[in-house]
Amino acid sequence: MRQEDFAEFYAAYRDGCLRAVLATVGDRMLAEDLVAEAFARAWASWSKVSRHPAPQAWVVRTAYNTHVSWWRRRRREVRLDGHDASAVEADAGVDPKVLAALRRLPTRQRDVVVLRIFLDLDTQTTARALDIAPGTVTAHLSRAVASLREQLVTVDAQEDGR
């Protein structure tokens, strides 16, 4: 386990992982916290993570799992009106319309889009990361792209006044 290897991994994949998580959670600060936690866990298990077929997918998946745990704890809390509203932010390098459309996709389709498109993983690696068949990855990606196309074309047409 080399510290330099992890530092290179972090520098190369941090921004991509952040964009991927932000596409799912829609809140920049939360996404940064989740990615930081996931990278901390990756460092703690670097000997295992470094041998993973797609370490960046491991980080994103860990961030998602952390978010689910956070959400389960949070849903039992009492909300204060207007104090926990999250805003979609465009500073992650992704159009806010695209982020909003991604969040409307079913979870598995969103996961596939994030791993295949945002992290540029191949079908086989995405399948292994999500523990699904390669054909399932292809099917989810196809459905997701069709849904995104429909949503985004409709939004653009409405904005143009068509």
Residue 71 is predicted with a pLDDT of 63
Q: Pick the residue with more confidence: 153 or 90?
A: 153
pLDDT at residue 70 is higher than 80: no
Q: What is the CATH number of the domain that holds 87?
A: 1.20.140
CA distance 96 to 112: 19
* Averaged pLDDT for residues 61-68: 88
pLDDT tens, residue by residue, 11-41 = 999 999 999 898 888 788 999 999 999 999 9
Q: Looking at this protein, which amino acid is placed at residue 79?
A: R
Please count the structural domains in the chain.
1
Question: How confident is residue 2, by pLDDT bands cut at 50, 70 and 90?
Answer: confident
- The reported pLDDT for the residue numbered 92 is 56
Average pLDDT of span 46-58 = 91
**Positive or negative torsion for Cα 100, 101, 105, 111:** negative
- Compute the average pLDDT of residues 58-83: 70
pLDDT digits (tens, 9 = 90+) for 74-131: 655 555 444 444 444 444 567 788 888 888 999 899 989 988 988 888 999 889 888 8
* Mean pLDDT, rounded, for 47-59: 91
pLDDT of residue 131: 86
The residue segments making up the domain with residue 88 are 3-159
pLDDT at 85: 40
**The model's pTM:** 0.66
Q: Report the C-alpha gap between 119 and 19 in whole angstroms.
A: 9
What phi, psi does 8 have (nearest 5°)? -65, -45
Give the DSSP letter of residue 79: P
